[in-house]
Amino acid sequence: MRNDRELLKNVEEIKTGRVKRGLEGLVGGLRALVISVEKENLRDAVYEMSDMTSYFVSEHYKNNEGEYYILKLKDSADIIIKASFESENKYLLYNDNPKSSKLINTRVEQFIFDVSDIEKYYEIQRSYGLNFDGAIENKGNYKILSSKIDESLGVSYAFVEFEGALRYSSKDDIDMEIDIPISNRTYLKNVIKLDHTASRVKAKDRDKAILKFMDYTEYNFEFSIYVRNLNSITNVARLKKGEFAMVFTSGIEEYKEGESGPTEKFIHNYGTRVHHMAFQTENIDTFFESLKKDGVEFLVDLVGSEEEGLKQTFTIQSPYTMIVNEYIHRYGDFSGFFTKSNVEMLTRSTEKQ
Ligand SMILES: [Fe+2]
């Protein structure tokens, strides 16, 4: 029966390797993630994000490559929603699946992490053999470096060092008016932080995806939860407790028509991709009721309880980003990250997608 023995051995090797090559202390937490959408959905996608969370638009700009909205929330990673003008999309092949090809440019494309010395980071990682998409780009108030796409996830990782204000638009960009209305849902203030994202990854690529991510960053694989009856493993990588976590959910066995559980079925229909973004939410019971009253639909009711230490729910997919929103609340002294019963109920609910 499949277990984590091989993975754990490789995880230890990567940890040792990172220390040896002098990476320790260079890479920080998630600064931003980049969601690409179709041109015609850009404004709707941005409004929806600000109408389903407490994120607000802080910048709107364009350049030769595309149009961008920056959404911010204090002490949380930024969300960049963009539409490309370019006809060539290097993520296209990851988007071309039975249920996702209608939104052929839509996916979470990139995770951007802080680095404290980008030149040193680049030098160390390039000598080690990691692949980057060009060299460090100097944008004026920040420098940025992108990895090649990780084929097991269809995402790239980028590394940024800000030198001045935390603004994304640079001298080559054209600033535009912020034309997105502000949501009037006052209960959205209960959304306090991006907690984690969860990607769906093929059974055969699980270890590869986790190990590659660890190689580029200073995240550590922490634990996995096997839901054998749904052919699904939820794997968690973290930097520090309380910071953004990277979750990878995979099958245990590969996809088989009519037999696979919801995780492998999702990948068959939508490709490997970020399935949901999870937001830490206060007063989650009333928050959930308020959203329902406003017509928001969910894949599942609130699962878990205060006694178990955790409550969570999933909305249905966004029609503009294909992303599910998770709202999550951890109670008091809950020391775990997930509970097995919640993981099982949430995984089961994705069968509906
Ligand atoms: Fe989650």
- Report the pLDDT averaged over residues 3-16: 95
With cut-offs at 50, 70 and 90, classify the pLDDT of residue 334. confident
My answer on whether 67 and 140 are in the same domain is yes
**Is residue 203 a contact partner of residue 250, using CB atoms and an 8 Å limit?**
yes
Confidence at 171, pLDDT banded by 50, 70, 90? confident
Are 118 and 226 found together in one domain? no
From the CA of 234, how far away is ligand 1's center (Å)? 9
Say which range, 2-6, 181-185, 236-240, 317-321, has the weakest mean pLDDT.
Answer: 2-6
Ligand 1 centroid to 249 CA: how many Å? 9
Residue 327 lies in a domain: yes
Q: Is the pTM of this model over 0.85?
A: yes
How many angstroms separate the alpha carbon of residue 195 from the centre of ligand 1? 8
Mean pLDDT of 329-333: 90
Residue span of the structural domain in which 135 resides: 22-175
Both 265 and 314 in one domain: the answer is yes
Confidence of residue 89 (pLDDT cuts 50, 70, 90): very high
Residue 258 has pLDDT above 80, yes or no: no
Q: What is the pLDDT of residue 86?
A: 81
271 and 301: one domain? yes
Same domain, 163 and 207: no
Q: Are residues 256 and 196 in the same domain?
A: yes
Domain boundary among 125, 153, 175: 175
Give 201 Cα–ligand 1 centroid separation in angstroms: 14
Residue ending a domain, among 125, 152, 175, is 175
| The pLDDT of residue 254 | 83
pLDDT classification of 248: cutoffs 50, 70, 90? very high
Beta bridge partners of 56: 72
Q: Would you say residue 214 has pLDDT above 80? A: yes
Question: Are residues 212 and 153 part of one domain?
Answer: no
User: What CA–CA distance (Å, rounded) separates 46 from 57?
Assistant: 8
Does residue 94 form part of some domain? yes
- Quick one: 157 and 262 in the same domain? no
Residues 298 and 344 in one domain: yes
Q: Is residue 206 part of a domain?
A: yes
**What is 196-251 written as a DSSP string?**
EEEEEE-GGGHHHHHHHHHHHSS-EEEEEEEEGGGTEEEEEEESSTTS-EEEEEEE
d(CA 203, CA 7): 13
Rounded to the nearest angstrom, the distance between the alpha carbon of 323 and the centre of ligand 1 is 12
Position 181 in a domain:
no
Mean pLDDT of 267-292: 97
Residues 90/134, Cβ–Cβ less than 8 Å: no
| Residue percentage of the chain with pLDDT more than 90 | 90
The first and second tokens of residue 306, run together, are 């205060």
Domain-terminating residue out of 175, 198, 219? 175
Spacing, Cα 139 to ligand 1 middle (Å): 34
Tell me: do 141 and 218 sit in the same domain: no
Cα angle 181, 186, 190; round to 5? 115
pLDDT exceeds 70 at position 39: yes
Residue 1: the pLDDT is 58
* Beta partners for residue 304, in sequence order: 311
163 domain residue, yes or no: yes
- Distance (Å) from CA 236 to ligand 1 centroid: 10
Q: How many domains does the chain have?
A: 2
Question: Environment class of residue 130 by beta-carbon count within 10 Å: exposed (0-12), middle (13-18) or buried (19+)?
Answer: middle
At what angle are helices 206-216 and 5-20 packed, to 10 degrees? 20
Q: Give the pLDDT of residue 87.
A: 80
Q: Is 111 helix (H, G, I), strand (E, B) or coil?
A: strand
In a domain, 42, yes or no: yes
Helix, coil or strand: residue 264:
helix
For all residues of the chain together, what is the average pLDDT? 95
Give the CATH number of the domain where residue 314 resides: 3.10.180.10
Residues 226 and 129 in one domain: no
139 and 225 co-located in one domain? no
The residue-averaged pLDDT of 302-311 equals: 95
Average pLDDT over residues 250-268: 87
Nearest to 315 by CA among 271, 353, 342: 353
So what's the pLDDT on residue 345? 92
In a domain, 196, yes or no: yes
CA of 276 to the centre of ligand 1 (A): 7
Question: What mean pLDDT do residues 279-288 have?
Answer: 98
pLDDT, mean of residues 170-194: 95
Asked if pLDDT for residue 51 goes beyond 90, the answer is yes
Dmax over CA atoms of the chain, in Å, equals 57
Q: Among all chains, which residue has been given the structure tokens 């006809």?
A: 87
- Domain assignment of residue 69, yes or no: yes
